[in-house]
Chain A
Amino acid sequence: MPLKVLLIDTDADRARALDDKLSESGFAEIQRASGGPGLAEAVESIKPDLIIIDMALPDRDALEDIRAVSAAHPIVMFAGCDDPAFAEEAIAAGVCSYNLSGVALEDVKPIMASAIALFRRYRRVEEELAAAKALLEERRLIERAKAILMQGRKMTEPEAYRWLQKKAMNENRKLAQVVAEFIEQHDPGIASAHAERK
């Protein structure tokens, strides 16, 4: 009989991808729930063997308090598991699971391995996106700092850029830091908007 897995993940794409992957294998039957109110009802009506939850959601504390979860077994992932490296891998990927019906570890592991792999892949995409955004933001701020220097100190554009570079070199700091601070001093509106976005 396939294991009943309750998947709590607000990233619909990722949830679907994991659903597809696990359904394909045939030993897990996936039900999905979003977090928030109604979680207790979902757990009590579905009676899952295993719960897989995105660690970025605030719902773990509520989940661990649901009687069906806390009474059945030691509540936390891989409790009694002699393989801390596996638990660490899951936490690093940002996903964890609760074993509600004492499913054997060898049955849980392949399911969690799929979840870990997917969460890791999605996280990498997110990080790449964030890095690209940060780079764009840095360029925008450099443009703004150059404009301030060109207007206020009558520098040419290459002079302004060299001035900023030299300042960074003298202070032994990253260009981005120097520029952010420079703008904060000369144009606080933009800098605080920048801080907000971070």
Chain B
Amino acid sequence: MSDVIALSARKAAPSRIRIGLLRLTDGAPLIVAHEFGFFADEGLEVELIVEPSWANIADKLAYGFFDAAVIVPPLAFAVQLGLRGTAQPLLIPYTISTGGNTVTIARRLAEEVKDLAARRNLSTVEALAACLRGRGMTLGVVHAYSTHNLLLRYWLATAGIEAGRDVKLAVVPPARAVEALGSGQIAGFCAGAPWGEVAQRAGTGITIATSRDIWQNAPEKALAVRGRWAEGRSELLACALRALLRAAKFCDDPKNASYTAAVLSRRKYLDVDSHAILASLPGGTIADGGCVFFRGAATFPWRSQGLWFLNEMRRWDLIDERVDLRDLTERVYRPDLYRAALTPLGESVPAVDWKAEGAHDMAWTVEAAPAPILLPADRFCDGTVFNPDMVRSPAKAVLETLHKL
């Protein structure tokens, strides 16, 4: 009977969605929703397309080859503004994961860093800074408009290292980074799981930090949807988000980790040893440094987090001074679509769109309906608190700084 209903639902609406993603562990909820029929249960016919580059993801979204994609939020903003290639309005109604990135450096350099940190009682990043200074080394990031580039720059800056001046940052695709580390072409890289673990297993690299060491509850991948596709398809989008949430719960349960890793390791997805994938799944061996898919409202598209990315993009001259960052955040980050899709399920959904980022040393409770949600600690490594109101417009930020003087 249920088959019949599903079939007729499929006939009633053109329910195909084409979603692009890369070979990364945090694509897990999409792959699980597809393989275990969660999309099908919602009457959706989803086609997952695994791409080798972020450039392909951006272009295929821009030209309508994809309806949606798993994306790093800074790249979604870049596509929205046409900073690389054709501009195309995108929406982020859902966050796919938090955490999961690693800073992985060459074995010998890692030993040097560790030794120095112990001898002079320095933090990891201070010791790394001391080792990098004046040596003209290169670190790899996966894309200019990536969370990795922004997180690594932020971390290094807390120890006085400026990319471009003290260390060179180069774009190296993660699948090539492992090899580049081995050949000495780069001294280290910041990339998403499983590539840090793959480098460790290959014996070429050591992971010295994860996303959490930079920003404790760092948002990572998001679902970006073409604005034009979403028009008039709100129910279809809601169905997709419901299937994703169900998959997120599955992926977040440590019991399912080895099973999820096995599915992800298939040749058509990550094509990587399942043990390397398992390490950064919830319940994996990197206990606290891995990906989070559900708990602590990880799936909610916090506007304050979108604005943090934009503010960092501005800090590093990746975005024009004149762009109204707050307005851009509100156009792209769409918690209203999240609520519309998931409230009917009885899920607890945050009641606010903005929060101070980095203000919590310990788990705290956020106002949500029907029940409050416990959120994890969200400190930045340097203790800075990011208050979204400070970024209303460049002029206002200047005024507020003046008031404080």
Contact = CB atoms under 8 A, between A and B. Distances in A.
B3 interface: yes
Contact of A91 (B54, B63, B176, B180): B63
B383 interface: no
Q: Which of B65, B171, B175, B185 has the most CB of A within 10 A?
A: B171
B171 A62 contact: yes
Interface string A55-94: 1111111111100000000111101000010011001100
A58 B175 contact: yes
Contact of A61 (B3, B60, B142, B268): B142
B1 to A, nearest CB: 13
B85 A198 contact: no
A37 B53 contact: no
Given A61-B54, A77-B85, 17 more contacts: A37-B179, A56-B52, A58-B175, A58-B176, A59-B53, A59-B173, A59-B176, A60-B55, A61-B143, A63-B55, A65-B170, A75-B85, A76-B55, A84-B63, A91-B65, A196-B267, A198-B266
A91 B267 contact: no
Contact of A57 (B52, B54, B170): B52
Contacts of A55: 52-53, 56
A185 interface: no
A133 to B, nearest CB: 13
A178 B57 CA distance: 34
A154 B187 CA distance: 64
Interface string A170-198: 00100000000000000000000001111
B268 A64 contact: no
Contacts of A2: none
Interface string B78-115: 00000011100000000000000000000000000000
Contacts of B366: none
B172 interface: yes
B176 A76 contact: no
Interface in A87-119: 87-88, 91-92, 96
Given A57-B52, A75-B85, A196-B266, A91 B171 contact: no
B266 A195 contact: yes
Contact of A62 (B56, B64, B172): B172
Interface residues of B, number: 31
Nearest to B141: A65
A37 B180 contact: yes
A117 B53 CA distance: 23
Nearest to B262: A192
Nearest to B54: A61
Contacts of A75: 84-85
Contact of B59 (A37, A76, A196): A76
B60 A91 contact: yes
A79 B389 CA distance: 36
B183 interface: yes
Nearest to B85: A76
Contacts of B3: 172
Given A58-B52, A58-B175, A198-B268, A91 B59 contact: yes
B84 A36 contact: no
B144 interface: yes
Interface string B169-198: 011110110011001010000000000000
A195 B7 CA distance: 25
Contact of B267 (A35, A58, A60, A197): A197
Nearest to A79: B85
A118 to B, nearest CB: 19
Given A59-B173, A61-B171, A198-B268, A76 B52 contact: no
Interface in B1-57: 3, 7, 52-56
